[in-house]
Amino acid sequence: MLSKIQDFIQSEDDFLITSHIHPDGDSIASVLVFGSILKQLGKRYQILLDDRVPRKFDFLSGIDEVSCIDDASLSFSPRVLITLDSSNLERIGRVQAVIPGNIPVINIDHHLSNETFGTLNLVNAEESSTVEIVYDLYSSMNLPFSADVATYIYTGILCDTGRFLFPNTTSRSLAICSEMIEYGASPDTIADKLYFRMSRDTVHALASALSTLEFHFDGVVSCIYLANGAYSGSDRIDTEGFVDFLLAIDQTEVEFLMVEKEPNLFRISFRSKNKVDVNEVAKHFGGGGHTRASGCTLSGTVGDVKQKILDVLEGYL
């Protein structure tokens, strides 16, 4: 499949690159590396996402190429769609509405829940991150690794392995990151930019969320939430990683965070430690992800949403 994709992009032009709503480090790294591939091949491309890139990724070279649909429109009529880190087309959000009909799709992803919706599908749930798969494509084309590309790849793997703490961290993940250091990625700089630049608004939001901590099923499940009044849609608040604070609580198995993005509309982030497949839990609500980390969107009051989740979790516990 790597060879097929390589041949396809060599023969085509006018690419639209996109990824899932609420972009994270893996999705951003993946679109940037793929953009670098196309740039070196002399291809025309545009990177367009449903949401704006979180501010903590502003240190990545070329990040200005990643546009939000609120701020930019298509600069040409794309002839190929590249979807990265998205388990289905619905996950790319409003970008789906601007895609020409019958456009060929290259789907590259590492989610177990991927629906193999592409014309060409390169999906491997054994990989820690989508950028690991894009790394394989980059390497197979014998393109030179610059410090910028090395930084993208290291960043994507670092983020999707939870700073190398999640069980999806493999020897291959670490070997690729080691290689990227040789090419110029700076581990201390990347970690500092990503994890030690929290805005005051983010810290206040974290404090607000942690103050709602609850335990259920004799402490096996823990949860927190952030209501719309605290969140207020501020782009200065980055809630990614809030749920990971709950992983440190002893004797819990499942953790979840509810963030009210709009009145009565919550984005849910699930984590589990050893036993519960939270990908299956998220699928109950039209979401998905990985065995130990997944997400979905639910409507209702915070109490209603919490109870819906607990009712489903009860069957797994």
pLDDT at 263: 92
What is the spatial distance between Cα 69 and Cα 18, in angstroms, rounded to a whole number?
A: 11
What is the torsion angle, in degrees rounded to the nearest 10, for the CA atoms of residue 223, residue 228, residue 232 and residue 234? 30
Is pLDDT of 246 > 70?
yes
Question: What token pair was written down for 88?
Answer: 């289905």
Distances from the Cα of 263 to the Cα of 146, 229, 302, 309, angstroms:
44, 9, 10, 18
pLDDT at 235: 63
What is the spatial distance between Cα 266 and Cα 208, in angstroms, rounded to a whole number?
A: 16
For the entire predicted model, the pTM comes to 0.92
Domains with residue ranges and CATH for the chain:
2-195 (3.90.1640.10), 200-316 (3.10.310.30)
Question: Over the stretch 192-232, which tens digit does the pLDDT of each residue have?
Answer: 999 999 889 999 999 999 999 999 999 999 999 998 876 65
What is the spatial distance between Cα 181 and Cα 158, in angstroms, rounded to a whole number?
A: 12
By DSSP bridging, strand 265-272 and strand 293-299 are: antiparallel
Question: Over the stretch 281-302, which tens digit does the pLDDT of each residue have?
Answer: 999 999 888 889 999 999 999 9
**Contact between residue 14 and residue 80 where contact means Cβ atoms under 8 Å apart:** yes
